[in-house]
C-alpha cells in the first residue's frame, strides 16, 4: 500500500515529426489486408505530444480517499472523470478531472455489484462500467454514478475484454471446443455467445497453447476489434461480426521464440515440476485513441527476468508505444515515460497504470 494524493503537473513531452515516403508493403490475400511495416512512417521525431496532467497515488497522505492498494486497471469518461480498479481494496474508485475523489463502489463478495478477483475494467458507448469477476465467472455492470446495473454471466473465463458501443463483449478466451482453437469470443449483452474468432497457433499441449496465444483486445469508434498477440509479431483487425479484415506486423529488435520447458519448485520437501515455457515478449496491452489510431505497448528488448508481471515490467525503458493508423501503417514509436504495466486510452486521455513500483495512475493528454 502506498499513501497518495493527486499531484498536478503540466510538463509536455513533445515528439515532433518529419515527412517520409511510405515505409510498408501491403498484400491482399483472400480479401484480407496484410501490412508489413519496415520502419515508422514518421521517422524518429513524430508529431505527437504527451502532456502530463496529474498523478493519483504515490505521494504521502493520511487521507484514505487517495490511498491505492493495487490499481490494476482504469477508465475515463467524456467529462474527464477517472475510474480506478483497486483490486485489493476491492473497489472502483472515482475521481473527477482534477483528481478529487468522488466515490467508491463495488466491494468484496458474490452479490450484485460485488466481486472477488478482477483484472479488467471497461466502458461502453454510454459510459457504463464493466468489471470482470473471475472467481464468480461474470461481469458486473455499473452506471457511471456507481449504481448497480446488471450482471453478465460468462460461463467461460475472460482474461481481458473490451466492450463495443452496442454493449456486446469481446474477450480473450482460448476455445477448447474447436480445432484449432479460436483465441476470442464475442458475446451479446446477456453473455450469450455470438461467435468465436482469431486463429491460434498450435502447441504441444493445452497449457503451452494457452500461454503462447495470449492476446489483448480493444475496439474502435466503429466497433472494429483489434487483437494484439503478446508473444507473436502479430496484430489483427476484425469486423464487429468477427471476420478478419487486416493482419499487421512491424520490425523487431529480436527473434521470436516459443520453447516448451519445465522448472521446479520445492513443496513439502519435494521438488515439483511446472510448465515454464520460454516465450518472447513482443507486446502487451493495446488502446485506440480519439483519432482511431491504434496504440500497442511493445517491447524494444527482452526483460531480464520473466514470469511474474512485476518482473516483466520492472524496466520501463524496454517498453515503447507503437502507434498505427486505421490502415495498419506504423506511424511512429515513442518511449514509455514512466513505470507502468498497463495503459488505457479514452479519446485524447492516456492513463498509465503502475500497480507495482509506485502504486499509482498517471494521466496524460495526447496532443497531435
Domain extents for the chain? 7-367
Query: Does residue 274 surpass a pLDDT of 70?
Result: yes
Q: For residue 187, what are the contacts with CB-CB under 8 A and spacing of at least 6?
A: 152, 154, 168, 169, 170, 171, 193, 194
DSSP string, 88-116: TTTEEEEE-TTS-EEEEE-EESSSTTEES
**Sorting pLDDT into bands at 50, 70 and 90, what band is 53?**
very high
Residue 75 reports pLDDT greater than 70: yes
| Closest CA relative to residue 57, chosen from 95, 18, 91, 14 | 95
Higher-pLDDT residue of 344 and 49 is 344
Task: Return d(Cα 296, Cα 293) in angstroms, integer.
Answer: 10
C-alpha cell at 257: 521464440
Beta bridge partners of 175: none
- As a whole number of angstroms, the distance between CA 263 and CA 9 comes to 45
Q: Within its chain, how far is the Cα of 39 from the centroid?
A: 24
Backbone angles phi, psi at 288, to 5 degrees: -125, 125
* Cβ–Cβ < 8 Å for 237, 224: yes
Per the prediction, the chain carries an average pLDDT of 88
Helix (H, G, I), strand (E, B) or coil at 65: helix
What is the predicted pLDDT for the residue at 102?
Answer: 95
Among 350, 300, 290, 352, residue whose Cα is nearest residue 326: 290
pLDDT of residue 169: 93
Given a cut of 50, is residue 14 above it in pLDDT? no
* 7-367 classified as CATH 2.120.10.30: yes
Residue 177 has pLDDT above 80, yes or no: no
Q: What is the pLDDT of residue 173?
A: 84
Confidence of residue 269 (pLDDT cuts 50, 70, 90): confident
In this prediction, residue 24 carries a pLDDT of 95
Non-local CB neighbours of 116 within 8 Å, separated by 6+ positions:
90, 108, 109, 110, 133, 134, 135, 136
Write the DSSP symbol of residue 64: G
What's residue 295's pLDDT?
98
What are the φ/ψ torsions at residue 110 (nearest 5 degrees)? -120, 5
Q: pLDDT, tens digit, for every residue of 98-152?
A: 999 999 998 888 888 888 878 899 988 788 999 988 888 889 999 988 999 999 8
Range with the poorest average pLDDT among 14-18, 87-91, 160-164, 263-267: 14-18
C-alpha span between 44 and 16 (Å, rounded): 9
Q: What percent of the chain is modeled with pLDDT above 90?
A: 59
User: What beta strand segments (E) does 38-145 contain?
Assistant: 48-57, 71-76, 82-86, 91-95, 101-105, 107-108, 114-115, 121-123, 129-133, 138-142
* DSSP 8-state class, residue 290: T
pLDDT classification of 6: cutoffs 50, 70, 90: very low
Q: What is the pLDDT of residues 192-247, one digit of tens each?
A: 889 999 999 988 888 888 889 999 999 999 999 999 999 999 999 999 999 999 99
For residue 253, what pLDDT band results from cuts at 50, 70 and 90?
Answer: very high
Reply yes or no on whether the pLDDT at 276 is more than 60.
yes
Amino acid at each position: 500500500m502506498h499513501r497518495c494524493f493527486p499531484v498536478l503537473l503540466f510538463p509536455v513531452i513533445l515528439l515532433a515529426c518529419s515527412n517520409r515516403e511510405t515505409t510498408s508493403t501491403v498484400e491482399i490475400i483472400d480479401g484480407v489486408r496484410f501490412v508489413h511495416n519496415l520502419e515508422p512512417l514518421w521517422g524518429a521525431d513524430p508529431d505527437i505530444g504527451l502532456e502530463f496532467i496529474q498523478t493519483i497515488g504515490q505521494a504521502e497522505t493520511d487521507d484514505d480517499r487517495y490511498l491505492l492498494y493495487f490499481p490494476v486497471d482504469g477508465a475515463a469518461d467524456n467529462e474527464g472523470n477517472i475510474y480506478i480498479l483497486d483490486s485489493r481494496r476491492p473497489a472502483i474508485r472515482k475521481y473527477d478531472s482534477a483528481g478529487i475523489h468522488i466515490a467508491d463502489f463495488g466491494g468484496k463478495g458474490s452479490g450484485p455489484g460485488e466481486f472477488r478477483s478482477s483484472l479488467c475494467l471497461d466502458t461502453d458507448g454510454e459510459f457504463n462500467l464493466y468489471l470482470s469477476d473471475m472467481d464468480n465467472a461474470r461481469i458486473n455492470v455499473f452506471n457511471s454514478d456507481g449504481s448497480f446495473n446488471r450482471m453478465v454471466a460468462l460461463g467461460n473465463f475472460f482474461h481481458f475484454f473490451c466492450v463495443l458501443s452496442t454493449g456486446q463483449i469481446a474477450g480473450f478466451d482460448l476455445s477448447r471446443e474447436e480445432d484449432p482453437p479460436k483465441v476470442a469470443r464475442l458475446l451479446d449483452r446477456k453473455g450469450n455467445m455470438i461467435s468465436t474468432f482469431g486463429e491460434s497457433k498450435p502447441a504441444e499441449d493445452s497449457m503451452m497453447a494457452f500461454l503462447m496465444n495470449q492476446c489483448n483486445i480493444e475496439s474502435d469508434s466503429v466497433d472494429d476489434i483489434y487483437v494484439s498477440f503478446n508473444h507473436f509479431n502479430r496484430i489483427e483487425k476484425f469486423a464487429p461480426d468477427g471476420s478478419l479484415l487486416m493482419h499487421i506486423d512491424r520490425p523487431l529488435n529480436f527473434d521470436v521464440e516459443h520453447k516448451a520447458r519445465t522448472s521446479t519448485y520445492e513443496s513439502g520437501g519435494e521438488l515439483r515440476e511446472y510448465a515454464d515455457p520460454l516465450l518472447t515478449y513482443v507486446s502487451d496491452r493495446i488502446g485506440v485513441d480519439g483519432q482511431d489510431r491504434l496504440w500497442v505497448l511493445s517491447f524494444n528488448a527482452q526483460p531480464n527476468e520473466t514470469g511474474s508481471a512485476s518482473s516483466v515490467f520492472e524496466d520501463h525503458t524496454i517498453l515503447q508505444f507503437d502507434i498505427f493508423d486505421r490502415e495498419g501503417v506504423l506511424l511512429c514509436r515513442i518511449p514509455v515515460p514512466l513505470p507502468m504495466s498497463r495503459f488505457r486510452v479514452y479519446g485524447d486521455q492516456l492513463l498509465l497504470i503502475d500497480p507495482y513500483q509506485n502504486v499509482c495512475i498517471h494521466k496524460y493528454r495526447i496532443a497531435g
